Chains A and B, each alone.
Chain A
Amino acid sequence: AQSVSQHNHHVILSEAASLELGCNYSYGGTVNLFWYVQYPGQHLQLLLKYFSGDPLVKGIKGFEAEFIKSKFSFNLRKPSVQWSDTAEYFCAVKTSSASKIIFGSGTRLSIRP
């Protein structure tokens, strides 16, 4: 069965620090990849997505993610975080043969002002 692993449950950073959140998936075929963000008290919002083409994907609010097929990874990055980036981040995978999205367990990001 397909699965998504997010390595860090809780990450604490200071403002202006660089961020990288790990995500690995298990599926050998074609995938669509997503990062969703859930700010405190708000619903899940799409941060960025990868379908095909350039493996480096840019999303909203300065986030980007890189798809490395050989490593089955889709890590999320931001060069300089802000206090407003405090949220929970979910990596998700959709295979070409299914309609459902499979989510990782999430990474809670806390930013010290």
Chain B
Amino acid sequence: DTGVSQDPRHKITKRGQNVTFRCDPISEHNRLYWYRQTLGQGPEFLTYFQNEAQLEKSRLLSDRFSAERPKGSFSTLEIQRTEQGDSAMYLCASTPSVTGARETQYFGPGTRLLVL
């Protein structure tokens, strides 16, 4: 168990550029979550996948954001036409699907995005 990994760890971009982040969940975890954390706040839910199916999206996820998990393993989160308000830490978490909803989410180190 090597934990959840995320790449890159840091990203600086100019406003208007597109960025893509990758998350590799813990092996055999079939649920994968994306969260966003801004300074002084706790993580906020963005979206989640059960295998390759995207089952829920937050209203925070504007149409500039898209997430995929094509083979049910790693996931990507793309932000198009970045804005300064997108600057945040983007966190990925994974969990095995457990009946009775007794699941624990394990978090990766995050990708810190700075939009200039």
Contacts and interface: CB of A to CB of B under 8 A. Distances in A.
B79 interface: no
A43 interface: yes
Given A99-B55, A99-B56, A46 B101 contact: no
A56 interface: no
A100 B45 CA distance: 6
B105 A96 contact: no
A44 B35 CA distance: 12
Contacts of B108: 43
A51 interface: yes
A96 B104 contact: no
B55 to A, nearest CB: 7
A19 to B, nearest CB: 19
B85 interface: no
Interface stretch (B21-29, B36-44, B64-72): B36-44
A106 B41 contact: yes
B63 to A, nearest CB: 20
Given A32-B102, A44-B91, A103 B107 contact: no
A100 B102 contact: no
Interface of B: 31, 33, 40-45, 48, 55-56, 58, 91, 101-110
Given A44-B43, A49-B104, A100-B58, 16 more contacts: A9-B40, A34-B104, A42-B109, A44-B91, A44-B107, A92-B42, A94-B101, A96-B101, A99-B33, A99-B56, A100-B33, A100-B48, A101-B105, A103-B42, A104-B42, A105-B41
